[in-house]
Amino acid sequence: MATIRGEQGTVQFDAAGSSNATIVGTRSWSLSITKETLDTSKHGDTFRSFVGSMISGSGTVELVYDPDATGQAAFLEDVLTTADPADATFELFTTGSTSGTDSVSFAGIITDMEITSTVGELVIVSCNFITSGAITSNLE
């Protein structure tokens, strides 16, 4: 058994979906996966029953802004992609950066980008995304 600390994590991304690369300066990431449910209760039932339905995900990646950091510009500017075909690929690692290991990967769309500049503090970028299509988990 080994617990993991946040600094072991990494985010990889490719706006074109061909070859993910590490975004330097990632401070945190989060991912929430939701499964919709369909009510299958029938007349005469006394307890409600469900089956699982569509699965979707959303989350946030937070960056310590550095205009020269590898991968940052392409990531935070992806929100400006018009008619976004959801071709961008993400891989969120809990530890390391070996594709397919300790990670969750998916295609997605960056839906929000917020950059914050405050006196005496580091400039921070926060990007929200939603998944599109299958979510592959390698968190085992």
Positions in the binding site for other proteins (CB under 8 A) = 6-11, 22, 24-29, 63-64, 70, 97, 120, 122
- The DSSP element (H or E) to which 73 belongs, if any, is helix 72-76
Comparison of 28 and 128: residue with beta carbon closer to other proteins: 28
Q: What are phi and psi of 6, to 5 degrees?
A: -60, -30
| Smallest distance, other proteins to C-beta of residue 29, A | 8
Comparison of 25 and 57: residue with beta carbon closer to other proteins: 25
Amino acid at 132: S
Comparison of 6 and 85: residue with beta carbon closer to other proteins: 6
| Smallest distance, other proteins to C-beta of residue 83, A | 32
CA distance 129 to 118: 24
* 40 touches 121 (CB < 8 A): no
